[in-house]
Amino acid sequence: MSHVFPRHTKSSLPTVAKGDGVYLYDHSGKAYFDGSGGAAVSCLGHGDRDVTDAIKAQLDQVAFAHTSFFTSDPAEQLADKLIAHAPEGIDRVYLVSGGSEAMEAALKLARQYFVETGQPQRRHVIARRQSYHGNTLGALATGGNEWRRAPFSPLLVETTHISPCFEYRGKRDDESTSDYGLRVANELEAEILRLGEDAVIAFVAEPVVGATAGAVPAVEGYFKRIREICDTYGVLLILDEVMCGMGRTGTLFASEQEGINPDIVAVAKGLGAGYQPIGAMLCSAKIYAAIEQGSGFFQHGHTYVGHPTASAAGLAVLTKLTDGGLVDKCAVMGAKLQSGLMQAFGQHPNIGDIRGRGLFHGIEFVEDRETKRPFAPERALHKALKKETFEAGLICYPMGGTIDGKQGDHILLAPPFIMEDRHIDEIISKLQTAIARVL
Ligand code: PLP
C-alpha cells in the first residue's frame, strides 16, 4: 500500500520512470508526449544536461545557505539576468519556491508599500473572475475560480472580482473587439470608485489566462486601458505570469506583447522548467525604494527563499531561454502549432475556439458551435479527454467549464520549446484519436 497522499485519492496513476526530451516514460516503458509540461512547467523538456550539470555543480559547492546570513552567486546572477530582460521599471527580484509563494509575496509587498508610504487605508485587492493565482490562502482569495474557493471561503480575505477579458465568450455581437476590451477594462474603474478612490491596493491579472480558461489572451488595448486606470487611482498592477511567463507566449514576459509595464510581476513554472522548484516576484524600483527608505525590511520570508541550488537551476534555464534562443524558437513553433491545430480542428463541429500565443494553446469544446452551448457539466468531457489523450500517449491539461456557468470544457497545450516540426503531427494525430473516441 502506498503512503503517498495523492491529489485524487480514488484514482491510481502510473509511476513515472524516466524523462527524455519531449517524452515521459512509465515503468511499463510506455512513452507519453509531454504536451502540457504538467501545467506549462517543462519548457525545456526532460533530461536537459546543461541544467542538470548546473544543479550538480551547485550541489558540490553549497546546496543551501539561509538568506538571513548569506546571499549566493547563483541567486545574484539569476536576479541580474531576470532584470536585464524584465519589463521597464522592474528592478528587484525576490526568489521563492513556486507560483503561489510568488503571488503571496506580491500581495504582501503591495500592501506593505502603502503602509510604508502613509496610505494604510488602502486594503482592497481587485482581480478577475476567470483567474487562478495559487492555492495558498492569500493567492486563493485573489483567484476567481469558484470551485477552488468554495470549501475555504470562510478563511479567504475578501477580494472583489470583475469580468475577465474573454472575447469568445464575452463580446456582444453589437460591439467591436476594441469596444469590448474597453467595456470590460472600465469595470476596474467602476469597482475602484465603488470601493473608494484611495482604498485599493492592487489589480491582479494573468496577461494570458491559463488553467481556469485555457490560454485566453486579452484583446488589444485592454491592458493599456487597465494600466491607465491603475495610474489614475494610484493602484498597483500585479501581473501573474506564473504560467504564461518565461517565454511560454513567445516573449520572455507575456506583458511585452501588451505594450505595458507592471509594478509587480510573478513568475515560476518555466523558470525552473521542472528541474527545481523556483519562482520569483519582481518589483519596480519605486516599490523597493519605499521599503528601503521606510522600515528597511520586507515583512515576509520563507526558509527556502533565494535557495542556491534552485537559483542555479533557474539561471541555467533562463540562459537557455534567452541566450540559447529558445524563446524565439517557442514563437516560431507556436505559430506552426497554431496553424496545424486550425487546419485539423478549425471546422470540427464540437470545437468552438482555438486560442493562445506561442506554445500555449487552449481548445474549447462545445455541444453546439453556432450557439456556443457547452456540453452538460455532468458529462465531464474534459475528464474523458484527459483519459483518452493519456491512453493515446499525449499529456494535455484539461479543465471543465465553470466561468459564469457558461464556459465549455477545454484542454490546454503547453509543449516543450525544444519540440520539432514532426511533433506537431504527433500531437495532432493523438488528439484526433482521443477526440474521436470521446465524441
Ligand atoms: N498563478 C498561476 C497563473 C498559475 O497557473 C499557478 C499554478 O498553476 C499559480 C499561480 C500557482 O503556482 P504553484 O502551483 O507553483 O504554487
* CB neighbour burial string for 203-238, b if at least 16 within 10 angstroms, e if fewer: bbbbbbbbbbbbbbbbbebbbebbbebbeebebbbb
Task: Scan for cell 497522499, then name that residue.
Answer: 5
Residue 420 lies in a domain: yes
* Residue 145: per-residue pLDDT: 87
* Separation of CA 61 and ligand 1 centre (Å): 30
CA 267 – ligand 1 centroid, Å: 9
Q: What spacing in Å lies between the alpha carbon of 179 and ligand 1's midpoint?
A: 30
56 in the same domain as 40 = no
Cα angle for residues 412, 273, 7 (degrees, 5° grid) = 60
**Distance of CA 391 from the midpoint of ligand 1 (Å):** 26
Ligand 1 lined by 133 (C-beta under 6 Å):
yes
From 321, 346, 375, the end of a domain falls on: 321
Query: What parts of the chain have a pLDDT lower than 70?
Result: 401-406
Q: Which residue has the cell 540562459?
A: 319
What is the distance in A from the centroid of ligand 1 to the CA of 137?
13
Q: Is the CB of 268 under 6 A from ligand 1?
A: yes
Q: Out of 41, 137, 216, 242, give the residue to mutate to test ligand 1, the one with the largest number of ligand atoms within 8 Å of its CB.
A: 242
- pLDDT at position 404 is 54
Task: Compute CA 331 distance to the chain's CA centroid, rounded to the nearest angstrom.
Answer: 17
Instruction: Supply the pLDDT for residue 9.
Output: 87
CA of 175 to the centre of ligand 1 (A): 33
Q: Are residues 123 and 256 in the same domain?
A: yes
Same domain? 27 vs 69: no
Q: Which residues contact 322 (CB under 8 A, 6 or more apart)?
A: 81, 85, 252
pLDDT of residue 377: 86
358 falls within a domain? yes
| 125: Cβ contacts below 8 Å, ≥ 6 apart | 107, 110, 141, 142, 157, 159, 160, 200, 201, 202, 203, 204
Count of beta carbons in the 10 Å neighbourhood of residue 55:
19
Cell of 45: 523538456
State the pLDDT at residue 405.
55
How many domains does the structure of the chain reveal? 2
Q: Which atom of ligand 1 has the smallest separation from the CA of 211?
A: 5
Q: How far is the CA of 269 from the centre of ligand 1 (A)?
A: 8
Atom number of ligand 1 nearest to Cα 134: 11
| Ligand 1 site, residue 103, Cβ cutoff 6 A | yes
Q: Is residue 276 part of a domain?
A: yes
At 378 the pLDDT is 86
Residue 414 Rama label (left phi>0; alpha psi -120 to 50; beta): beta
CA distance 151 to 310: 33
- Find how far residue 262's CA is from the centre of its chain: 15
Q: Whose CA is nearest to atom 12 of ligand 1?
A: 99
Instruction: State whether ipTM is beyond 0.95.
Output: yes
Residue 163: inside a domain: yes
Q: Which of 337, 342, 438 is nearest to 391 (CA)?
A: 438
Q: Is the CB of 96 under 6 A from ligand 1?
A: no
**Residue 170 and residue 306 in one domain:** yes
> Of 321, 356, 389, which one is at a domain's C-terminal end?
321
Quote the ligand 1 centre to 334 CA distance (angstroms): 22
Question: Which among 43, 104, 128, 133 is the best mutation to test ligand 1's pocket, defined by most ligand atoms within 8 Å of the CB?
Answer: 133
Closest among 276, 384, 5, 21 to 13, alpha carbons compared: 5
Distance of CA 421 to the CA centre of its chain: 25
Same structural domain, 273 and 128:
yes
Angle formed at CA 44 by CA 38 and CA 47, multiple of 5 degrees? 90
Domain presence at residue 1: no
Last residue of one domain, picked from the residues 295, 321, 347: 321
Give a yes or no: residue 67 inside a domain.
yes
State if residue 45 touches ligand 1 by the CB under 6 angstroms criterion. Answer: no
Query: Is the domain of 220 the same as that of 249?
Result: yes
Q: How confident is the model over 249-295, as pLDDT tens digits?
A: 999 999 999 999 999 999 999 999 999 999 999 999 999 999 999 99
Do residues 168 and 275 share a domain? yes
Question: Is 64 found in the same domain as 195?
Answer: yes
The type of residue at 377 is: P
Q: Is residue 4 part of a domain?
A: no
The whole domain housing 333 covers: 16-48+325-438
Residue 330: inside a domain, yes or no?
A: yes
- Does one domain contain both 34 and 157? no
Using the mean position of ligand 1's atoms as its centre, give its distance from the Cα of residue 43 in Å: 15
Q: Is 211 in the pocket of ligand 1 (CB under 6 A)?
A: yes
Its pTM stands at 0.98
Q: How far is the CA of 211 from the centre of ligand 1 (A)?
A: 8
The verdict on 253 and 134 lying in the same domain is: yes
Ligand 1 pocket test: which of 7, 95, 97, 100 has the largest number of ligand atoms within 8 Å of its C-beta? 100
Find the CATH number of the domain harbouring 237: 3.40.640.10
Residue type, 247: G
In ligand 1, the atom with minimum distance to the C-alpha of 279 is: 15
**Ligand 1 binding pocket includes 104 (Cβ within 6 Å):** no
Same domain, 42 and 82: no
Give the distance (Å) from ligand 1 centre to CA of residue 287.
23
Counted residue by residue, the chain has a size of: 439
DSSP 8-state secondary structure symbol assigned to residue 399: E
**With contact defined as beta carbons under 8 Å apart, do 188 and 224 qualify?**
no
Contacts for 347-353 with beta carbons within 8 Å, 24 or more apart? 348/435, 350/435, 350/439, 352/168, 352/408, 353/168
Determine the distance separating the centroid of ligand 1 and the alpha carbon of 60, expressed in angstroms: 30
- Does one domain contain both 90 and 204? yes
Report the CATH number that the domain containing residue 339 is assigned in CATH. 3.90.1150.10
